[in-house]
Amino acid sequence: MTRVARAVAAVCLVAMAAACGGSDGGSDDGSGGGPASRSPAAQAPSGARGAASWWRPKAGVSWQWQLSGKIDTSVPAAVYDVDLFETPAATVAELHRAGRKVICYTAIGTAENWRPDYGRFPKAALGKGVDGWPGERWVDIRRIDAVRPIWASRLDQCKSKGFDAVEPDWMDGYQKDTGFPLTSAQQLAFNRMLADEAHRRGLAVGLKNDLGQIPQLVGDMDFAVNEQCAQYGECERLTPFVRAGKPVFHAEYEIPPGRFCAESERLGLSSIRKAVELPAERQACP
């Protein structure tokens, strides 16, 4: 599936020239929702031996996803997912004081030319433009040695701002027309590198949309973020996360809650409906 919401956010930015330390997600930890078999410690992620402790959210925890506009800190959700570069540390601290956990969103399978570190991507590592999204190009994930320092710097910023976790976007380039002959094995190695670097910094990390590699990556990741699985009839494929006691943060854009909330509840997903620009407004499933 495509990352529709980011398309609008990217165009807007270009036009402008621009729960705690343990097992729950805050005061609303969703501990009664869904058919989860809780196992917060789950399998130890590959490469994470000796790493710092990090937040391990529970399946069913409520969430808010906002990537446009001034962050509304009053939304009654236990977890907020907001932009790494655009969100100040003061906002993260405010959310923490309210008992929220906070995820930093950042693309890494693509390079966005409005980001301050765009120049760090080697030209040889930049592929085709992301279809319909001006200013964004695919990254050659085979060049892990070139991309790892950029990712590490972003994680350091995420950590220094006080975030609890990271949502890396574009983790499924092997299924796209990137300009590079990427394989599933190369994507798997890249995604595990992302998780390893996050965990070394004491940050939880999520798997974004890469449904095909869920069986291999559910042990490495702490949660999943998915767009439109209900619209495309794919939500069952996310249940390995719920069975492992890990949340699936799910958003729909085009269908009303009445068409997906009952199924989401049955599967134990944390589901919301959002506008594609990802403003503050949301409709959450019960």
pTM for this model (two decimals)? 0.84
Fold of the CATH domain 4-284 = TIM Barrel (3.20.20)
Q: How is residue 45 annotated by DSSP? A: P
* pLDDT higher than threshold 90 for residue 80: yes
Q: Write out pLDDT tens, residues 113-142.
A: 999 999 999 999 999 999 988 999 999 999
In this structure, are residues 56 and 41 in contact, taking their beta carbons and an 8 Å threshold? yes
- If DSSP codes are grouped into helix, strand and coil, which group holds residue 191? helix
* pLDDT higher than threshold 90 for residue 168: yes
* Residue 13 binned pLDDT confidence (cut-offs 50, 70, 90): very low
In this structure, are residues 205 and 168 in contact, taking their beta carbons and an 8 Å threshold? yes
pLDDT at 15: 37
Q: Which residues of 223-235 are buried (b: 16+ CB within 10 A; e: fewer)?
A: bbbbbbbbeeeeb
Q: Write out pLDDT tens, residues 16-60.
A: 333 333 333 333 443 333 333 223 333 344 444 444 699 999 999
